[in-house]
Amino acid sequence: MLIAGNWKMNLLPHEGMLLTHEICEGMKSISPEIEILICPPFTHLAQCSVIIESDDARISLGAQNCDSHEFGAYTGEISPLMLVSMGVEYVIIGHSERRVLFNESNEIIAEKCHVVLEAGMIPIICIGETLEERNAGNFEGIVREQLLGILRNEAILESILNSDIVIAYEPVWAIGTGLAADPDQAENAHKFIRSILNEYLPGQSDMIRILYGGSVKPDNASAYFAMPNIDGALIGGASLNVESFLAIAQSA
Ligand code: PEP
């Protein structure tokens, strides 16, 4: 089970440090079988990494995005190699906010996925349909197209065979809205996603963790974790509060 917190563009550095300390402290109540991941803003990563290491805490560190190039004239961007050098192990790729607000296409997301894998990190690839797409009966087509943007790429497929990826199914209508997907509805989506993974990565698809994301809270988390194809959660709002984040992790 992987419990991942996406802090988005929240918390000043001192607040992020405090939250990291509190999570480290709370780790004692979390089973060692549960992997805890925090994804702070870029500006907090180096300090979070020091806290995690000095506490010897079982917490993984992730970034929320990265550029698709290693170095160069890309003002304002962050290289995957810079992230690795700060102890980052995971990178969230293709979050719906990046797709919608920053116009990231399936092609751009595939390029980012490739550089993250090449740099030795694990991409958390976010996919999911909007409410209009679901209401139009187009859920499967959209999710398939988003996944195939990655899986149809030979170079990426090759890298995945020697590495690991995580998929986060995040229906856009459930993100930050309080309208969490029904657990059976989420399980059906995860089953569908796993069947596509199986077409391209037979033998590996059962090991790929598929997280559910979208208004996960302490009072609904355990219903998702009881589902056979749900291997954890990507949590936005509830990851900013130590009690709710740890309560979700405890229910995993
Ligand atoms: C997210 O941003 O990935 C997310 C799932 O947010 P929230 O938990 O707030 O819905």
Which active-site residues does the annotation give? 95, 170
In tens digits, the chain (252 residues) has pLDDT values of 999 999 999 999 999 999 999 999 999 889 999 999 999 999 999 999 999 998 777 999 999 999 999 999 999 999 999 999 999 999 999 999 999 999 999 999 999 999 999 999 999 999 999 999 999 998 999 999 999 999 999 999 999 988 999 999 999 999 999 999 999 999 999 999 999 999 999 989 999 999 999 999 999 999 999 999 999 999 999 999 999 999 999 999
Answer yes or no: is the C-beta of 235 below 6 A from any ligand 1 atom: yes
- Separation in Å, CA 233 to CA 9, 163, 213: 19, 21, 6
Distance, CA 217 to ligand 1 centroid (Å)? 10
Domain boundaries, given as residue ranges, for the chain: 2-251
Strand, helix or coil for residue 52? helix
Kindly state the tokens that stand for 175: 């993100």
Q: Are the beta carbons of 17 and 247 closer than 8 angstroms?
A: no
In the prediction, which pLDDT does 187 show? Answer: 98
Strand, helix or coil for residue 219? coil
In the prediction, which pLDDT does 55 show? Answer: 79
In the prediction, which pLDDT does 26 show? Answer: 94
The pTM assigned to this predicted structure is 0.96
Q: Which residue, chain included where needed, has tokens 């994301």? A: 213
Answer yes or no: is the C-beta of 27 below 6 A from any ligand 1 atom: no
In the prediction, which pLDDT does 162 show? Answer: 85
Distance, CA 86 to ligand 1 centroid (Å)? 25
Going by C-alpha positions, the residue among 212, 156, 154 that lies closest to residue 186 is 212
Answer yes or no: is the C-beta of 236 below 6 A from any ligand 1 atom: yes
CATH of range 2-251; options 3.20.20.70, 3.40.640.10, 3.40.50.1110, 3.30.70.260: 3.20.20.70
Distance CA 32, CA 27 (A): 9
Sequence-distant (6+) residues with CB within 8 A of 158 are: none
Distance, CA 38 to ligand 1 centroid (Å)? 13
